[in-house]
Amino acid sequence: MEALAEALAPLLDKPFAIFGHSMGALAGFELARQLRGQSGIRPVRFFVSADRAPQIPPRDRPIHALSEDDFLAELRRLKGIPGIVLEDAELMQLMLPIVRADVAAYETYVYATESPLDCPISAFGGLQDRRVNRADLEAWREQTSASFSLRMFPGDHFFLNATQPLILQLLSQELRGDG
């Protein structure tokens, strides 16, 4: 995050927001913390989607160290990678080390207590998401000293696929300040 924050800092001379879905929510959270500590820069709003708040310990068994066959089976079960991609053996050989590293970083994350962010947080979740529930999303409220909102949508962990136009409209409204 230090290198990412350093690379982004010169581009953040205008108001910006951070959006993170699933594992990306945790990455966005740590980026916001890194920017705050490194240069005092903060987003105007942080959007989190389909991930538990960072202070909540993981409930799922780790999968990053599974054998290749078992790891691929878990990726299929989670539906996080399109089937057409999973079935392309050559592409998966290129992607698998990257995906495994991302999953390992997420699964081995250790939360460190710091003061809350001073930007508003908006959380989004899927009503049928079996991995992240309303309470997991509500807990993001503890990570901000500013306003917090939570919206739930029909769908599972990847509710964004079916609600993209509505989500984009909400993001726009909240960034304009009328959401």
Query: Is 149 in the active site?
Result: no
Backbone angles phi, psi at 30, to 5 degrees: -70, -35
> For residues 179 and 170, is the Cβ–Cβ distance under 8 A?
yes
Catalytic residue among 22, 49, 122, 172: 22
Picking from 144, 155, 145, the residue whose alpha carbon sits closest to that of residue 47 is 144
Which residues touch 24 (CB under 8 Å, ≥6 apart)? 49, 51
Which residues touch 36 (CB under 8 Å, ≥6 apart)? 42, 117, 118
Cβ density class 117-151: b for 16+ within 10 Å, e for less: bebbbbbbbbeebeebeeebbeebeebbeeebbeb
C-alpha–C-alpha distance, residues 158 and 151, integer Å:
14
- β 148-153/17-21 pair status: unpaired
Residues identified as active-site? 22
